[in-house]
Amino acid sequence: MKVVGIIPARYASTRLPGKPLKDILGHPMIWWVYQRVCTVQAIDEIYVATDDSRIQKVCEEYQIPVVLTSSEHRTAAHRLQEVSESISADFYLQLNGDEPLINTEAIAKAIPDYVPQDIEYGTNIITNAKNPAQVMDPSNIKVVFDEEMNALYMSRTPIPYPFKSIDYNYYKHVGIIGYNKKMLDFYKNSEPGRFETIEGIDTLRFLDYGKPLKFSYVPDCESLSVDTEKDLEMVRKMLEEQYGEI
């Protein structure tokens, strides 16, 4: 089974423009993400997917495989689908380009032993919400699933609602998602679903249309995405503690 990891990278971030190229200990952020993903042995090939020639140029300088994509894509899944047109694989992993400390255990857990190719198929990493604040925070996407870890629903509001009992561990989505080619093609060719539009959750499109989405659980999987200068400084300090000066 061929597994391809794809790191979408946009230059035009609203809060931190050019963040894939922000310097961290002498290297651009995208280099750190790529190096970390490279440690996952189950991934056969890794590419950065970007619509910006500046990111493309830096990737080429650092010998990071890069694919230049359209600037018209609304979501990362659309960008992955374009890449899948030129790079064949049995399974495509969407990996956030703004997480220099991306959890490699979670990446490995997102790769199933077998991926059917005759139906649409996707996977999604989830973790436990650690406290009530995380449960209530609408930026944390809560999830519910059946006994076989098949996705039932995803929401920005706490689900399930604790009407008769509070004896429940809440779970939330982590931004590591995998697709086969059929699932990506479906996403490209379908309209946004009803609940996807209401909740503002791209992945809900699959559930809106009854497509199978499998959850994999990784305990205490906290991700730190770099969205602000404050986040960037925090990541710099954490990486300096790990590696010192490079």
Report domain extents, the chain.
1-102, 115-222
Check if 1-102 and 115-222 are the same fold.
yes
CATH of domain 1-102: 3.90.550.10
What's the pLDDT at 36? 96
* Structural class in CATH, domain 115-222: alpha beta
Contacts of 246 by beta carbon, 8 Å cutoff, 6+ apart: 25, 26, 27
Going residue by residue through the chain, which has 246 residues, state the pLDDT in tens, using 9 for 90 and above.
Answer: 999 999 999 998 888 999 999 999 999 999 999 999 999 999 999 999 999 999 999 999 999 999 999 999 999 999 999 999 999 999 999 999 999 999 999 999 999 999 999 999 999 999 999 999 999 999 999 999 999 999 999 999 999 999 999 889 999 999 899 999 999 999 999 999 999 999 999 999 999 999 999 999 999 998 789 999 999 999 999 999 987 655
Question: According to the model, what pLDDT value does residue 243 have?
Answer: 78
